[in-house]
Amino acid sequence: MNCSCCLSLAALRTPSSPWDTRFPLFGMTNAWAQDPLPSWNDGPAKRVILDFVKDTTEKSSPKYVEPADRIATFDQDGTLWTEQPLYTQAMFALERLGKMALQHPEWKQQEPFKSVLTRDNAAMSKFTESNWMQIVAATHAGMSTEAFHGLVKDWLTTAKAPRFDRPYTDLIFQPMLEVMRYLRASGFRTYIVTGGGQEFVRVYSEQGYGVPPEQVVGSSIATKYDNTSGKPVLMREPKVFFIDDGPGKAIGINLFIGKRPYAAFGNSAGDAQMLEWTQAGAGARLMMLVLHDDAKREYAYGPATGLPDTHVGTFTESLLSEATKNAWVVISMKNDWKRIFPFEQ
Amino acid sequence: MNCSCCLSLAALRTPSSPWDTRFPLFGMTNAWAQDPLPSWNDGPAKRVILDFVKDTTEKSSPKYVEPADRIATFDQDGTLWTEQPLYTQAMFALERLGKMALQHPEWKQQEPFKSVLTRDNAAMSKFTESNWMQIVAATHAGMSTEAFHGLVKDWLTTAKAPRFDRPYTDLIFQPMLEVMRYLRASGFRTYIVTGGGQEFVRVYSEQGYGVPPEQVVGSSIATKYDNTSGKPVLMREPKVFFIDDGPGKAIGINLFIGKRPYAAFGNSAGDAQMLEWTQAGAGARLMMLVLHDDAKREYAYGPATGLPDTHVGTFTESLLSEATKNAWVVISMKNDWKRIFPFEQ
């Protein structure tokens, strides 16, 4: 047996995963040692991250945190990758619905399917939670977890994100990958805490972010154990089990991790409680929000600070007030990020 | 920063935790290297554990498993510690109910409370799930998660287990601690997957077993996020959220871990699906069941193999048939364990 203390970090390395080739883990260069966040412009946002890591990891610091307690949580849509013009998982659901419609001629007359099939964006922007649940039930349930993973995997290899005409996983933010990597190299465990589907995100979280399945906390539908065919399967049911959004993010963090994060990153109103929950702990705590104010390189939306209201991943005025009041740090994509996507040179 | 690859293992060491002093982690002796399971008698049960670790961790083995995938799951009650005459958490609930009864004179006439207060064991053995839920609602809900942790912690320091007249955490099985430690030293992560309450077990899992809170999967009641008093809390509600028992163990493993275990340990009918789920994966898989056949040193109950039926943690005839059919290994407490408790000399 090799040195067992290296096993768990080695475990995080999957050969050929994008984050691994972007960051050769055991080949840290001097440049990296000097600047672990090269895609960040110098400024208060970058500074606060560097200070936080110093405060929590230097043994002599009064705010030192034991490695076992070093937990950092990241919202996904809009925080780790692009969420416009619609969440990636919604795109998956809508495209799958389009394909399934061939076997469901009745959907042409039946809401919410009709609006989806006719691409009635105005109607879709007004969908209720129950409408979305009908779409999720049709596209995400009635199959085993393994079959669902296969569907998502296949879709990700062929689907292209609008505007960029690239695979969705190309739209992961390089500066956030650097933060995740820097935190992990500093002994933190990085968790994704997403309103999106836990099983959906698990399909690409390791390759995309270096986050293993057990560190993905997300929304889920119920599953049912079925061992009637000789090989047990978990069948996905058309029934909400857990919504990991808003207050659900604090609940999910406690349920799945059982430890309070020291750092939390979000970008929209649904992340407020995760940041509140993080801040309520003692010692050094880092709360950050990504503001999409870069229409040229990505998207610009708020409605905070007068940016357009896209109704997807909204950064509300009240979230901005709460951030200001609590000294949460707002990351300006336009000013704080030198480079947004890994594919940019 | 120190070598970051050592941080995660270092994280598992909490100074003064019992398992740590029982096993000085970095002071592995020659004796340990020669026999990592000293409390096990030589025999097929011990052999199968040693072979499994060899098969899954030696690089040259055709059954080699990547460290990231080395997951082992352990039922708690009856597998890791004594569950007779009643589950420890039930003892907590009943003792707490006794104290609370002073403020609830009406309980003297009201079931299920009446049976508990009069220690009517016959009636209690027939309690339905709904009866138990009423008791859980009265004793486990209506407080914050932090307050609940405090109650459990306090109780554990004073409560004594019947027959042994010792703290409940003294009744953890030494041979199983050795298996957990051996697996961890071999790059496995050890998870507790219990029908008991997740928050209850998290209070002592690190000290008792070296298992951190994020590796405890258990049953839970719903919580509600409340930020009205300025400091957010999660309030425990009198409502079942998840039952991690029977098929729920396979569901819980997928939900919380998202990886299939390579090894699973149980002792009763509620563990069957966890073992089925484990075995359904490819490669080397280890499925083991503890049979309590040692009335002298601990307890003897089945009803399998003609042992008494205690109605708590039952090892049924049908479980034994399934074990035989699937080549799951039954651990005879009497024959396979040289020493049962850490306090034995």
Please give the mean pLDDT across all residues of chain B: 91
Preceding omega of A112 cis (within 30 degrees of 0): yes
Pick the residue from chain A with its C-alpha nearest to B206.
A68
The minimum CA-CA distance between A109 and chain B, rounded to whole Å, is: 36
CB neighbour class for A323 (10 Å; exposed up to 12, middle 13-18, buried from 19)? buried
A325 Cβ under 8 Å from any chain B Cβ = no
Pick the residue from chain A with its C-alpha nearest to B236.
A251
Q: Which residues of chain B neighbour A250 with C-beta distances below 8 Å? A: 225, 232, 234
A213 Cβ under 8 Å from any chain B Cβ = yes
- The sheet with strand B71-74 has its strands ordered as B233-242, B216-226, B189-197, B71-74, B263-266, B286-291, B329-332
Whose CA is closest to B298, among B21, B79, B50, B152?
A: B79
Stronger pLDDT, B16 or B70, i.e. the higher one: B70
Contact A273 B247 (CB under 8 A): no
Closest Cβ opposite residue A68 in set B12, B199, B231 = B12
Contact partners, residue A141, CB within 8 Å, separation at least 6: A221, A236, A237, A238, A239
**Averaged pLDDT for residues B4-26:** 38
Q: CA-based angle B212:B214:B220, to the nearest 5?
A: 115
Closest Cβ opposite residue B202 in set A189, A227, A258 = A258
Contact A4 B8 (CB under 8 A): no
Q: Say if residue B87's pLDDT is above 70.
A: yes
Q: Are B161 and B82 in contact (CB under 8 A)?
A: yes
Contact A187 B67 (CB under 8 A): no
Q: Are A194 and A5 in contact (CB under 8 A)?
A: no
End-to-end CA distance of chain B: 42
- Cα separation, B203 vs A9, whole angstroms: 27
For residue range B267-286, list pLDDT tens digits in order.
999 999 999 999 999 999 99
**Averaged pLDDT for residues B283-293:** 98
Q: Are A331 and A39 in contact (CB under 8 A)?
A: no
Q: Residue A83 region, left (φ>0) first, then alpha (ψ -120 to 50), else beta?
A: alpha
For residue range A124-137, list pLDDT tens digits in order.
878 888 898 899 99
B28 Cβ under 8 Å from any chain A Cβ = no
B225 Cβ under 8 Å from any chain A Cβ = yes
The minimum CA-CA distance between A57 and chain B, rounded to whole Å, is: 7
B9 Cβ under 8 Å from any chain A Cβ = yes
Closest Cβ opposite residue A220 in set B5, B68, B255 = B255
- Cα separation, A256 vs B218, whole angstroms: 10
Q: Which residues of chain A neighbour B257 with C-beta distances below 8 Å? A: 213-214
Listed by number, the residues of chain B in 137-196 with a beta carbon closer than 8 Å to a beta carbon of chain A are 145, 184-187, 189
Which pLDDT value is given to residue A17? 42
Place of tokens 């790059």: B187
A257 Cβ under 8 Å from any chain B Cβ = yes
Least confident of B5-19, B40-54, B155-169: B5-19
Q: Which two tokens stand for residue B331?
A: 């651990």
Listed by number, the residues of chain A in 42-61 with a beta carbon closer than 8 Å to a beta carbon of chain B are 57
Secondary structure class of B234 (helix, strand, coil): strand
Q: Which two tokens stand for residue B45?
A: 């049960």
Q: Which residues of A189-212 are buried (b: 16+ CB within 10 A; e: fewer)?
A: bbbbbbbbbbbbbbbbbbbbbbbb
The minimum CA-CA distance between B138 and chain A, rounded to whole Å, is: 21
Read off the pLDDT band of B28 (50, 70, 90): low
Contact B67 A8 (CB under 8 A): yes
| Strand ranges for A52-178 from DSSP E | 71-74
**Averaged pLDDT for residues A239-255:** 97
Q: Where are the alpha helices (DSSP H) in chain B?
A: 7-11, 18-22, 30-34, 44-57, 88-100, 113-117, 121-125, 129-140, 145-158, 174-185, 198-202, 205-209, 247-256, 272-279, 317-326, 333-336
**Averaged pLDDT for residues A315-333:** 98
Read off the pLDDT band of B29 (50, 70, 90): low
Q: Say if residue B31's pLDDT is above 90.
A: no
Pick the residue from chain B with its C-alpha nearest to A233.
B277
Place of tokens 């307690």: A69
Closest Cβ opposite residue A4 in set B66, B187, B198 = B187
Q: Which residues of chain A neighbour B25 with C-beta distances below 8 Å? A: none
Contact B231 A280 (CB under 8 A): yes
**Averaged pLDDT for residues A4-10:** 31
Stronger pLDDT, B33 or A53, i.e. the higher one: A53
For residue range A277-319, list pLDDT tens digits in order.
999 999 999 999 999 999 999 999 999 999 999 888 999 999 9
Which pLDDT value is given to residue A128? 87
The minimum CA-CA distance between A248 and chain B, rounded to whole Å, is: 8
Contact B254 A232 (CB under 8 A): no
Q: What single-letter amino acid sits at A312?
A: V
Q: Say if residue A44's pLDDT is above 90.
A: yes
Whose CA is closest to A9, among B331, B329, B187, B328?
A: B187
Which pLDDT value is given to residue A125? 79
For residue range B295-333, list pLDDT tens digits in order.
999 999 999 999 999 888 999 999 999 999 999 999 999
Q: CA-based angle B228:A198:B255, to the nearest 5?
A: 90
* Mutation choice for A interface testing from B152, B214, B253, B322 by most A CBs within 10 A: B214
For residue range B117-169, list pLDDT tens digits in order.
998 888 987 888 889 889 999 999 999 999 999 999 999 999 999 999 999 99
Stronger pLDDT, B283 or A2, i.e. the higher one: B283
Contact A255 B7 (CB under 8 A): no
Listed by number, the residues of chain B in 106-145 with a beta carbon closer than 8 Å to a beta carbon of chain A are 145
Which pTM was predicted? 0.91
